[in-house]
Amino acid sequence: MLHELIKVWFEWSRDMGYWGVFAMMALESTIIPVPSEIIMPPAGYWAAQGQMSLWGVILAGGLGSTFGSSLCYWFSYTVGRTVLTRYGKWLLLPPERLELAERWLAEYALGGVFLSRLLPVVRHLIGFPAGLIRVPFGKFVLVTFVGSTMWCGILAVFGAKTIGQQPELLNDPQALTQAVKGNLVWFVLLVVGLGAGWMFVRWFGNRTRSV
């Protein structure tokens, strides 16, 4: 069932062109579990084959991610903490995860939003706490777009190169996902390391000023 659904996502992002990439990445940035790892790499490969522009694919993915995350932002902004806390578990956002994300954003705000867009799993949930703590929407959109476009660019370039060498990956979504995760693990570790370093510098600076 999942295999067939993934094939449908493949076909949509291919046959609908930029709009397909936009739509799939918009869904990926909401509660609908459409992995960016199976959308952007094939789109990058098809761009390399001349079906689309690589920059167009990356831009469509970044805009789609920003749009989907903005929907999450305004949903939580509108319904408020009480509703989201009570029903968040049905949105794959249990109360403890929501509280953790809120504390993260309350302390690091826009930097936390940016880093989250470059990390799997948490990237599609960040819009909910951002709406709850009222992160300025214009700044949220800008930071989300920059981070999302970077992530989409990495995946698209990966797809253009790796799938070009192994086109059979298009017929095996599980193998494609494993290939993406295996090759991006160092990038994720780099993002985590940079984030930890940035948080330490900020913490040390605040501590120094308070002495």
Contacts of 93 (CB under 8 A, 6+ apart): 31, 84, 125, 128
Q: Output the six-digit token pair for 64.
A: 């789609």
The answer to whether the CB of 46 falls within 8 A of the CB of 9 is no
Whole-number pLDDT of residue 53: 92
Whole-number pLDDT of residue 210: 53
Angle at 49 between CA 172 and CA 144, to 5 degrees: 75
pLDDT digits (tens, 9 = 90+) for 77-116: 888 777 777 777 776 677 777 777 777 677 666 777 777 7
Rounded to an integer, the average pLDDT of 107-128 is: 74
**Measured distance CA(103)–CA(106) in Å, rounded:** 5
Burial of 1 (0-12, 13-18, 19+ CB in 10 A): exposed
**Measured distance CA(137)–CA(74) in Å, rounded:** 9
